[in-house]
Amino acid sequence: MDRTKILLGENELPRQWYNVLADLPFPPAPYLHPVTFEPITPQDLAPLFPQELIKQEVSQDRFVDIPDELLDIYSLWRPTPLYRARRWERALGTPARIYYKWEGVSPPGSHKPNTAVAQAYYNKKEGINRLSTETGAGQWGSALAFACNIFNMECKVYMVNVSYRQKPYRRILMETWGATVVPSPSKDTNYGRALLAENPDASGSLGIAISEAVEDAAQRDDTKYSLGSVLNHVLMHQTVVGLEAKRQLEMAGDYPDVLVGCVGGGSNFGGFFLPFVPDKLSGKAESLRIVCVEPEACPTLTGGLYAFDWGDTAKTGPIARMHTLGHGFVPPPIHAGGLRYHGMAPIICALYDRGLVEAIALAQTKVFEAAVSFARAEGFVVAPETAHAVKAVMDEALSCKESGEAKVIAFNSSGHGHFDLGAYESFLSNELEDYRYPTEQIRASLEELPRIDQ
């Protein structure tokens, strides 16, 4: 099939999520209680999450049915298109065949509502009418605001302060859907007030915003906490992306040699590549390369330690074994706010630790250079997070130009950059700076890890 845009019909929308835990040849490390350090129980998670999501978090079922009501909502934007980047291929002069899954067609403009509507749905079924959450760049907050509006629920968003200032239109989008948005650290929680007392101009971090959202949920009977990445059930909800892409690549008569995606907490790339993992584990696609791309300013996989750590700065949430820069890590204010989390999805970390996936870290000026190249060839202006994947794909394609190899390279274009034009303006006017997080500061942050036998 020689097409540029590969579409699935609405009747081809996946009716099940794929759960990689059923196929992993090793047991994942347990989550630990934030105080006792003992394996966490479903009862421990109940104040934060509805029972169905707790069940999904630990499920060993290979496939989990997607409720019809959710399929109806998904159909507003799914299935999403897969594009062959023919114009970009020609511009780069590469023999590689490049494909990208375009998640920017959803109402919030990213992959995030794939799990946001699911989480809101299961909370509403259990009688919860209010959700609290954090957001970095605003993609997740937008998605949850959209989902809560669909189910007539309240939504409280703690937005990392630097992103709150950098991305006002994301805040306005959330408020348009009815959410209440505050900069984090905020005056609305005990933890936020304590941090502001120490530093009134604190730029914030995802770890801090998570702490505030968890405190908010824990103190109210009508509220649960909603997380947009990291956890198993979140990545599972996102596998609709990879399941669709796998079928679309089959329609194109291709199978990927390289899968690429940006990673912050891991949801968009996890959802894209996890449906391909059984092929790699079984030997069907043993040579398949899976490349995680992160910013040099927040090098969680490439510069962090594989250890148990708290998921939030206040140490109130579950402890997970993951690659971490330390729960107290506060990254510099790069424009890819969604990639500034100190940890990473435990599933991705376990796969990385066993050599099944790769990771690279990139500087943001080169990332935006690649994003502009992509926009001028393909037309789509991608989010700064997605731009990291674009740069890695460009490098792979140029390597193919040198070697003459016609590799198939596929990536998840996880969101549009329409609310990030200020970042593009900084790049185009040569005002964008690179940040490489100092190794000694990472070492200092890692000194605060919980003392747990690995």
Q: Could you read off the pLDDT of 95-116 as tens digits, one per residue?
A: 999 999 999 999 999 999 999 9
Instruction: Establish if 342 belongs to a structural domain.
Output: yes
19 within some domain = no
pLDDT for residue 169 is more than 60: yes
Nearest-5° Cα angle at 93, 87 to 99: 45
Q: Are strands 319-324 and 305-310 parallel, antiparallel or unpaired?
A: antiparallel
From the list 228, 231, 227, 247, the residue with the least C-alpha distance to 15 is 247
pLDDT band at 442 (very low <50, low <70, confident <90, very high): confident
229: helix, strand or coil: coil
pLDDT digits (tens, 9 = 90+) for 2-18: 679 999 999 999 999 99
Q: Decide: 202 and 75 in contact? Cβ < 8 Å.
A: no
* Summary mean pLDDT of the chain: 93
Domain count, the chain: 1
Q: What is the DSSP string of 148-188?
A: HHHTT-EEEEEEEHHHHHH-HHHHHHHHHTT-EEEEES-SS
Residue 9 one-letter amino acid: G
DSSP letters, 305-333, are: EEEEEESSTTS-SPEEEEEES-TT-----
Measuring CA to CA, which residue among 205, 227, 369 is closest to residue 297?
Answer: 205
Residue 379 placed within a domain: yes
pTM for this prediction? 0.94
The CATH number covering residue 321 comes to 3.40.50.1100
Q: Is 75 inside a domain boundary?
A: yes
255, part of any domain:
yes
The pLDDT score that the predictor gives to residue 292 is: 98
**What pLDDT score does 202 carry?**
87
Q: Please give the distance of CA 131 from its chain centroid, rounded to a whole number.
A: 19
In a domain, 227, yes or no: no
Tell me, yes or no, whether 404 lies in a domain.
yes
The domain in which residue 307 lies consists of 5-10+67-109+233-442
Q: What DSSP line would sit under 254-303, residue for residue? A: ---SEEEEE-SSSHHHHHHHGGGHHHHHHTTTTT-EEEEEEETTS-HHHH
For residue 346, being part of any structural domain is answered with yes
